[in-house]
Structure 1
């Protein structure tokens, strides 16, 4: 397969409305017209005030645009949506249980030998 020489790329697409903030990026080879874009949107929870920035809902809405310029297609990226939604919960759980996780890593490291701590770092 020949690499497309003429490609339209955008790394800084964005949109803003009263209730939504969106960022996107992607590319389209001119020869084929194939579309490959990804958009991440957040709903506005509270608008900005003089004393504070706007607050956005924690769970992003991820949409993918594919197909061709003639027949574009759109879909929600459910895998990304679930991953992003749960990422904050996982980080909160790890932070809350950091001392327990550290004790468990040390215990396993002593019983199973060095290197277990390295495996845990990859997981957490």
Structure 2
């Protein structure tokens, strides 16, 4: 189709023009197929780079924690004092509990959901108390 002007096409018959359009369509389809193959090859290359094939002979260990193993949510907490030492006892829904001596150590072993659960419990316990009452007790 390239290089033809309208006055050139006026003198040609319908069959000739139809053949030109058919050839142009076939060329476009071939070009599109080539581009698609090139794009598919690029995607395949990227996927192969991301994929690491491990032979069956080697043993593979995966360090993953299944979701079913995650400990249940926190349902309670208490502070135990033994002499000058204070321990934080965290109780979970399955009946298990853990003692922590240092608050920062407890926070390191918690995930986001544990922190949210503990926050809700502490907030619910101290929601009805006023700051002035706590200051009177402290003094």
- The two structures have a TM-score, normalised by structure 2, of 0.23
**Bigger strand fraction:** 1
Higher Cα radius of gyration: 2
**Bigger helix fraction:** 2
